[in-house]
Amino acid sequence: MADKPKIRELLDESACAHNKSKQSPCNAPTPGATSGGCAFEGAQISLFPYADAAHLVHGPITCLGASWETRATKTSYPGRDLTQMGFTTDISTSDVVFGGEKKLLSAIDYIMAHYTPEAVFVYATCVTALIGDDIDAVCRHAAEKYGVPMVPVHAPGFVGSKNLGSRIGGEAALAHLIGTKEPETTTPFDINLIGEYNVTGDLWQYSPLLGELGIRILSTLSGDGRIKEIRTAHRARLNVIVCAKSLISLTRKMEERYGIPTISLSFYGKRDTSAGLLAIAEALGDEGLIERTKALIAREEARLDGKLQPYRELFKGKKAVLNTGGNKTWSIASALQDLGIEVVATAVKKATEADRQKARETLGEAGVLMMNPGAEQAKIIDDTGAHLLLAGGRSLYTAIKKGIAFADVNQEKKKSYGGYDGLLNLAEDLKNALENPVFENVARRAPWEK
């Protein structure tokens, strides 16, 4: 039987610098008091949007059976969208006993014969990692056999959180894809978009603007990505991190290895989109490009302002409480402000120190930064007279109870809120939420309760 203190000690690595400030050190999840995805899910998220690659999950059915076709990561790939397909070895008891490598290789053979992908990602999962299947060897063998990249991804769920998994996914792309091919041509304005997964088509809200400026997206990791392009990513002039933190170690290594500098930005809301475009132009360091970018920003902002005018009338004097995580704690807040909505509170429970600071700057001194939003948000709605709650589905009950409008900004989101045009989508959704009588109706008492 395991020695309890020993496990506790191993999880509490005292040498870690962050150990002093964090309750659960080294990101160890607490049994019975935790939620959120695992490393495998994170690796999926970071790599699945390559629609021209097959994603083969080597494990029992849960890992893939419950997770395929869950993310709306759109692609313009003209072939069959392999992101929206599920491939799994669905290992059985005998594979657990005798090893699953043979089955894995047969599965790769099957995929190559029937789908001819540009690459195959092979994901280890808890069970196949534990039984010691050598997916590296299988991938090496298959890569030689087919002359196509076979990328082993070592992110079994038990190694950590979703965030760690995304990083592992990035590492796998760095080790097996990036730098394995030369681009046909290069331009002085080649960039990589990192951490952009094109959820609901976010990338397409701003990529035409980059194109208009003459900035070429050489590759993305991995929204609307192509295997051929990510293999040439080492020739880019700039890495642009679109989502705040999960792939920082990848860009750091690309900087060390290939000398590619990195900037980090967001494309949510008018001000962030403008600032983001300008930051890219400035980082590329071309005067002409900067001038063109400024002109384009002025044009786009004017166009957007015209379209937003009717919404601003409607949103005048409206207050919102925002309960979400990560960089959304400030990026959506800033988008709401662009719409003329006052953000009275935002949740910073799931945000990093840098995100918290940014949230403070965005909301100003009067804004509340909620550390425990589940408990705090109802009272804040009462105190401030907020009209709108933007959160994940779980907070729906708070909105019903308070009889105020609700908009889901996490899982249920079906439309893109990115870029200038995404802000119009957000405005329309909020208008619909504010005008919807459903919350009043749901709160109605039954005749026998009056």
287-326 binders of another protein (CB under 8 A): none
Binding window for another protein (CB under 8 A); candidates: 189-197, 209-217, 295-303, 392-400: 392-400
Site for another protein in 417-446 (CB under 8 A): 442
DSSP E strands, 243-339: 262-264, 319-323
When binding is defined by CB under 8 A, the residue of 18, 22, 98, 130 that contacts another protein is: 130
Q: Which stretch binds another protein (CB under 8 A): 92-100, 140-148, 229-237, 321-329?
A: 92-100
Q: Tell me how many degrees the CA angle 220-416-221 measures, rounded to the nearest 5.
A: 10
The pattern of x and - marking residues 131 through 150 that bind another protein according to CB under 8 A reads: x-------------------
Q: Is 161 in the site for another protein (CB under 8 A)?
A: yes
- At residue 419's C-alpha, the angle toward residues 417 and 423, to 5°, is 50
CB of 202 to another protein, least distance (A): 17
Q: How many residues bind another protein (CB under 8 A)?
A: 71
In the bound complex, what is the minimum distance in angstroms from residue 93's beta carbon to another protein? Answer: 6
Which of positions 330-359 make contact with another protein (CB under 8 A)? none
75 binds another protein, rule: CB under 8 A: no
Torsion angle, alpha carbons of 210, 216, 222, 227, to 10: 150
392 close to 323: Cβ distance less than 8 angstroms: yes
Closer Cβ to another protein, 397 or 428, answer by number: 397
| CB 314, CB 339: distance < 8 Å | no
Compute φ and ψ for 37, nearest 5 degrees: -85, 170
Looking at 19, 79, 110, 211, which residue binds another protein (CB under 8 A)?
A: 110
Prior bond of 222 cis (ω within 30°): yes
The C-alpha atoms of residue 109 and residue 105 are separated, in whole angstroms, by: 6
Which of 10, 137, 298, 438 binds another protein (CB under 8 A)? It is 10
Residue in 91, 101, 95 with CA at minimum distance from that of residue 133: 101
Question: Residue 21 class from Cβ within 10 Å (0-12 exposed, 13-18 middle, 19+ buried)?
Answer: exposed
Binding of another protein by 163 (CB under 8 A): no
Q: Kind and range of the H or E element at 450?
A: none
Element (H, E) at 65: helix 61-65
Handedness of CA 40, 41, 46, 51 (dihedral sign): positive
- Binds another protein by CB under 8 A, chosen from 45, 48, 103, 192: 103
Give the residue, chosen from 19, 116, 180, 411, that forms a contact with another protein under the rule CB under 8 A.
411
With binding defined as CB under 8 A, does residue 159 bind another protein?
Answer: yes
Nearer to another protein by Cβ, of 86 and 326: the residue is 86
Contact set for another protein, span 12-51 (CB under 8 A): 28-41
Residues 55-74 that bind another protein (CB under 8 A): 56, 59-70
Q: Which is nearer to another protein, 161 or 251 (CB)?
A: 161
Q: How far is the CB of 394 from another protein (least distance, A)?
A: 6
Cα–Cα distance for residue pair 360/346, rounded to 1 Å: 9
Told to check if 79 binds another protein by CB under 8 A, we report: no
